[in-house]
Amino acid sequence: MKRILAALVALLALGLAQKELRLFIWSEYMDPAILEAFSKQTGLRVRVDLYESNEELIAKLQAGGVGQYDVIFPSDFYVPSIIQLKLVQPLDHAKIPNLKNLDDKFKNPPYDPGNRYSAAYQWGTTGLIYRKDRVGEPKSWAVIFKEPKAPFILMDSPREMLGNALKYLGYSANTKNPKEVQQAGQLLLQAKRSRYFLGFEGGVGGKNRVVAGAATYAVVYNGDAVKAADENPGKVAFTIPQEGATLWVDSMMIPAKAPNPEGAHRFINFILDPKVGAQLSNFNRYATPNKAALPHINPADRKNPAIYPPGDLMKRLEFILDLGKDNRVYDEVWTAVKSR
């Protein structure tokens, strides 16, 4: 009898899971109208949980989230580790025909050759959001790294924050030279000891504190800042310092024990539809990796260098790469920065 009850409970749970799709995603990163349209088309209810850093995402997956969520959205330089840890399952390309819509540079990315486990979601840059009603446009990262003269917030993301410090020092954001990474760490420690340092923030935290007036500068993702600038045109603006900055790609992946992998494939294919992909980027104010979506992007956004950097600026930007065993140097330096 107990076995029969257990089997019935398992079947009931499976049935409920197949009527629901659970996303684990960054804050303020999905147009609610897209989720409503997906639910209307598929009959699946969508539940959304939020995280503020890649580290938080991985920790949740390892603590059982791998069997709780259907789609996750990690950054490119974390994808190899997530695959190696066996936290995700391979994609069934036959169920995602819209993969063909991705731009060529996202079809066979170095972090996941052949898109075996991931499909690009959005891409963008990091830079500085600043109070334009208080200060002029900052030309250099020096406003937070050299001699800060106004309140500022650093991004709570090791590779992106160390990467931008490395760019300021004239090094590659992906250097494997321990001494250069340590120099970047010392630069962050110096900034952290400034009386103007207000802390580390993940996700949209830095942007919100600049908009609220608590900080004058914050290291943020470009889309968050572009939306804030549109909503507060006289107060805030975004810029990429002259030394350059880091680029990133966030991808869609399916956890290894996803309750509804069928629904997850349907969702990924839905997002990769040209018009849905454009709607997503028009909402997020990040660049789309979906080539077929480009004709549907707001013309003003297509011309906005903060969203689609021009060629001369792209030369000063670097995608963050997974460095294998050399990631350890970055982890050690970041731990030292955060603990001191």
pLDDT digits over 112-162, tens only? Answer: 999 999 999 999 999 999 999 999 999 999 999 998 999 999 999 999 999
Q: CA-CA distances (angstroms) from residue 81 to 73, 145, 209, 323?
A: 14, 30, 32, 10
* pLDDT tens-place string over residues 258-306: 999 999 999 999 999 999 999 999 999 999 999 999 999 999 999 999 9
First to last CA, the chain: 59
Chunk the chain into consecutive blocks of 10 residues (it has 340) and report each block's average pLDDT, rounded to whole numbers. Answer: 50 61 96 98 98 95 97 96 97 98 94 96 97 97 96 96 98 98 98 97 91 98 95 95 96 98 98 98 97 98 95 93 94 96
C-beta separation of 280 from 90 below 8 A: no
At 17 the pLDDT is 55
Looking at residue 202, what is its pLDDT? 82
Residue 8's pLDDT is 45
Torsion of CA 74, 75, 79, 82, to 10 degrees: -40
Under DSSP, is residue 200 helix (H, G, I), strand (E, B) or coil?
A: strand
Q: What is the pLDDT of residue 40?
A: 98
Using CA atoms, how far apart are residues 95 and 180, in angstroms rounded to an integer? Answer: 45
Architecture, CATH, for domain 124-247+309-339: 3-Layer(aba) Sandwich (3.40)
Superfamily of 20-123+249-302 according to CATH: Periplasmic binding protein-like II (3.40.190.10)
Q: Is 313 exposed, middle or buried (0-12, 13-18, 19+ CB in 10 A)?
A: middle
CB-CB contact of 176 with 221 (8 Å): no
- pLDDT at position 1 is 57
In the chain, residues under CATH classification 3.40.190.10 are 20-123+249-302, 124-247+309-339
| Predicted local confidence at residue 330, as pLDDT | 97
